[in-house]
Amino acid sequence: MIIFACFVPHPPLIIPEVGKENLAKLEDTVKTLNHLERELYASKPDMILLISPHTSNYGNFFTINQQPKLRVNFKDFGDLVTKLEFDNELGFGYQIKESCEDNLPIILTADEWLDYGSGVPLFYLAQHLPGIKVVSLGHADLPLTSHLKFGEVIRKQINLSGKRVAIIASGDLSHKLHEDSPAGFSPRAQEFDQSVIKLINEKKIDELLHFDPELVKDAGECGLKPLMILLGIIKELNYEPEKLSYQAPFGIGYLVENFKV
């Protein structure tokens, strides 16, 4: 059973030991993540299915991390203090792999250390869930339609599992919103972000699927594919999208979106 679903950003700057004085500039994002944490806790999940755009890339293959212990740190960002550890739900990962083998390319990986696209959401959403199992998924260099289909396959496995499953899709919107953005500036970046937010909240999945590829490229985003997997999982449910916050103080679009299921 799917009991929770959200799309969240992953700026390392919201980790207190990393962001320090910059944390105040992302106050709305932190506040809404704390709200989601309470919602997730109240939903009593057995397992978190986490989709990140920054897992190890294997080209045209979707990935499922089958390392038994999944660990998080932020030492690449100067934080030597913050550390997390989770147990993997290995059986569920194998079930997804088996159900995909005939129609979607998928590979099992074994990465002990999760990427920051996984670590930041887990820091905010899962610290008060001792013993929670985590399944870590990665996207592929394939069209958005394949990612929607991957989500549909996952939904069937969730329904067969008998478990209470929370879905967390991690991703940032455009990385080119300001003149001083890390990835440079695109005059179409804001158009991309506002279009994505509008289509999510109007539940227009087909229009998201056929997004202008040039606009996507100009935006320099990393969230569409994880979002599409999430939407594939929940699209048959009676869900209600809820935009909780959107900020871009550093030239990158950070959207926090709840999907009430």
Find, among 70, 66, 68, the residue nearest to 86 by Cα: 70
Cβ-Cβ contacts under 8 Å for 49 (sequence gap 6 or more): 135, 137, 154, 158, 165, 166, 167, 168, 233
CA angle, 80 as apex, 75 and 82 as ends, to 5°?
Answer: 95
pLDDT at 141: 97
For the chain, report the end-to-end CA distance as a whole number of angstroms.
Answer: 10
Sequential DSSP letters for 62-82: EEEE--SEEEEEEGGGTEEEE
Q: Rounded to two decimals, what is the model's pTM?
A: 0.97
Q: How far apart are CA 53 and CA 142, in angstroms?
A: 13
pLDDT at 102: 84
What is the mean predicted confidence (pLDDT) over 195-218? Answer: 95
Q: Which two tokens stand for residue 237?
A: 């449910």
Could you read off the pLDDT of 29-72 as tens digits, one per residue?
999 999 999 999 999 999 999 999 999 999 999 999 999 999 99
pLDDT at 180: 84
Q: Which two tokens stand for residue 100?
A: 């995909």
Q: What share of the chain is helix, strand, coil (3-state, %, to 5)?
A: 40, 25, 35
Q: How far apart are CA 89 and CA 69, in angstroms?
A: 10
- Higher pLDDT residue, 102 or 149? 149
Q: How far apart are CA 24 and CA 19, in angstroms?
A: 9
Could you read off the pLDDT of 217-235 as tens digits, one per residue?
999 999 999 999 999 999 9
What domains can you pick out in the chain, each with its CATH number? 2-260 (3.40.830.10)
pLDDT at 131: 92
- Say if residue 193's pLDDT is above 90: yes
Q: How far apart are CA 188 and CA 216, in angstroms?
A: 9
pLDDT at 182: 85
- Say if residue 151's pLDDT is above 90: yes
β-strand pairing of 240-247 with 69-74:
unpaired
Q: How far apart are CA 240 and CA 100, in angstroms?
A: 28
Find, among 259, 260, 258, 252, the residue nearest to 53 by Cα: 252
Identify the three-state secondary structure at position 84.
strand
- Say if residue 101's pLDDT is above 90: no
